[in-house]
Amino acid sequence: MKKQMNKVLRQTEFWVFLIIIFLALIIQARSGAFFANNNIVDIMRSMICPSLYAVCALLAFVSTGPDVSFPLVAALSSYLAITISIKINYDGPWFVVYLIGMFFGALMGALNGFIIVKYKFPSLIVTLGTSSLFSGILLGTFEAARMDLPATLQRFAELSLLTVKNEKTGLGSTLPMTFLILVAVYIAAYLVLNYTMVGRGVYAIGGDEISAERAGFNVKKIRFGIFVVNGMIASIAGLCYAVMSMRYLPNEYAGGEMVVIAAIILGGTRMTGGIGTLKGCILGTLLLTMVTNSLILVGISVYWQKVFIGAIIIIGTAIPAIQSIFGKNKGKKVKGGEAA
C-alpha cells in the first residue's frame, strides 16, 4: 500500500492534477464562474485541437525527439483536403474529407520520417526545415486564403454534442462533434501504446535505441511509422480546427507547437525519450488551457497571459529535473518506461 502511494507520489501526473484542482479552486473562489457549466464546456472545446496535437508531440518525444512540424502539416493537409472536396463537389459522408486529409498528412509525415530515419539528424532541426517548406508550399505555391468549408463539413460543423446555457449569466456554449474524434483518437492511441508490440516498441526505442534493436524491435520501421501516424493525427487536428471555426484559416495554424510541447512536458513526458503518458498529455493541456481561458475570469489582464505560460513552463520543467536530482541523491533511480 505504502509502495503504491509512493509510486503515485512520484508520478508527475499526480502533481499536475493537484495543481489543476488547486488552480480551479482559486479561480472559482475569485470569480465564482469556473465551475459554471458553460465555462467547463468552453474549456473542453478549446482543448480539442491542442490535445490532438499533444498526441503527435508525445509520440515524437517518446520515441525520437521534438517534432515541431505538426501545425503546418495540419494546415497544409487540411487545405488540400478541403480544396479537393470543393473542386470535385464532394457531398458524401464527412469522414471521407478527413481520410483525404490523413492521406496527405501521412505523406508529409513520411517525408519527416524518411529524413530523420535515413540520416539520423536531430528531429528538431529536420521538422523546423520541413515546416518551413510546408508553409512555403501552402502560402506561396497554393496562395491559400481563408475559405468556406465544403457542404458536408459545414453540416458536420453544425452538429453539436452538448449545448449548455448558464442560467445566471445567460451565456451559452456548445460542444462540437469533433470532441468525439478526440476521444476516439485517445482510445486508439491508448490501446496501441499499451497493448500492442508496436506500442511497447515506441517506448523501447525512445528509452534505449540499441537495446530495443537487440530485443528485436525494428527501430527504423517504428520510427518511420510514428512520423507517418503523426502526420495523420496532425491532419485530423487541422480539419477539426477548420470545422470548429466554421471556415479554413491558413494563418491561424502556425505557432501553436511550442505551447503544445510545453503542455506535454508539464504532463511528465521526458525530453530524453522513453517516458510519457497520454494521461499526462491531457492533464498538461488542461492546465495550460485553463490558464489561458481563465485569466480573464480572475481579473488578470490578457497581457499577462504569456508571462504566466512562460513561468508555468519553466517551473513545470524544473520540477522533474529537481526531482531527479533528489532521486539520485537518495540512491533511487526513477524507473523508465512507465506507460499510461
- Tell me which of 119, 168, 333, 335 binds other proteins, using CB under 8 A: 119
| Rounded least distance, CB 140 to other proteins, Å | 3
Given the rule CB under 8 A, which of 6-14, 16-24, 140-148, 218-226 is the region that contacts other proteins?
Answer: 140-148
Question: How many CA atoms lie less than 13 Å away from 252 in the CB half-sphere?
Answer: 17
Binding other proteins (rule: CB under 8 A), the pick from 52, 56, 115, 175 is 115
By CB under 8 A, residue 131 contacts other proteins: yes
Of the candidates 310, 301, 306, 334, the one whose C-alpha atom is nearest the C-alpha of residue 320 is 334
Nearer to other proteins, 136 or 337 (CB): 136
**Residue 129 interacts with other proteins (CB under 8 A)?**
yes
Among 262, 283, 286, 287, which residue interacts with other proteins (rule: CB under 8 A)?
A: 262
Minimal distance, residue 132 CB to other proteins, in Å: 3
Per-residue contact flags (x/-) with other proteins for residues 185 to 224, judged by CB under 8 A: ----------------------------------------
Amino acid at 199: G
Site for other proteins contains 263 (CB under 8 A): no
Dihedrals phi, psi of 209, to nearest 5 degrees: -60, -45
Bridge partner residues of 284 (DSSP): none
CA 22 to chain centre: 23
* Binding of residue 265 to other proteins (CB under 8 A): yes
251 binds other proteins (CB under 8 A): no
Give the residue, chosen from 136, 183, 195, 196, that forms a contact with other proteins under the rule CB under 8 A. Answer: 136
**Radius of gyration of the chain from Cα atoms?**
20
Contacts of 46 (CB under 8 A, 6+ apart): 289, 292, 293
For residue 130, the minimal CB distance to other proteins (Å) is 6
- Candidates 29-37, 79-87, 122-130, 227-235: pick the segment binding other proteins (CB under 8 A): 122-130
Shortest CB 317 distance to other proteins, Å:
5
Whether residue 225 contacts residue 113, with contact meaning beta carbons closer than 8 Å, is answered with: yes
* Smallest separation, CB 15 to other proteins (Å): 16
H helix or E strand, kind and range, residue 163: strand 160-165
Angle at 302 between CA 257 and CA 235, to 5 degrees: 25
146 binds other proteins (CB under 8 A): no
Q: Which of 110, 125, 147, 151 binds other proteins (CB under 8 A)?
A: 125
234 closest CA partner among 31, 38, 37, 50: 50
C-alpha distance from residue 75 to each of 108, 189, 222, 298 (Å): 11, 22, 25, 33
Q: Rounded to the nearest 10 degrees, how much is the dihedral formed by the CA atoms of 145, 147, 153, 157?
A: 100
143 binding other proteins? (CB under 8 A):
yes
Q: Cβ of residue 325: shortest distance to other proteins, in angstroms?
A: 7
Is there binding between residue 137 and other proteins (CB under 8 A)? yes
Number of amino acids touching other proteins (CB under 8 A): 49
Q: Is 329 in the site for other proteins (CB under 8 A)?
A: no
CB-wise, 72 or 182, nearer to other proteins? 72
At which residue does the C-alpha cell 509512493 appear?
6
Q: Which three cell numbers stand for residue 115?
A: 529524413
Q: Using CB under 8 A, which residues numbered 284 to 323 contact other proteins?
A: 302-311, 313-314, 317-318, 321-322
Q: How far apart are CA 157 and CA 147, in angstroms?
A: 15
State the burial class of residue 72 (Cβ atoms within 10 Å of its Cβ: 0-12, 13-18, 19+): buried
Q: Which residues bind other proteins (CB under 8 A)?
A: 66, 115, 119, 121-122, 124-126, 128-141, 143, 255, 258-259, 261-262, 265, 271-272, 302-311, 313-314, 317-318, 321-322, 324-325
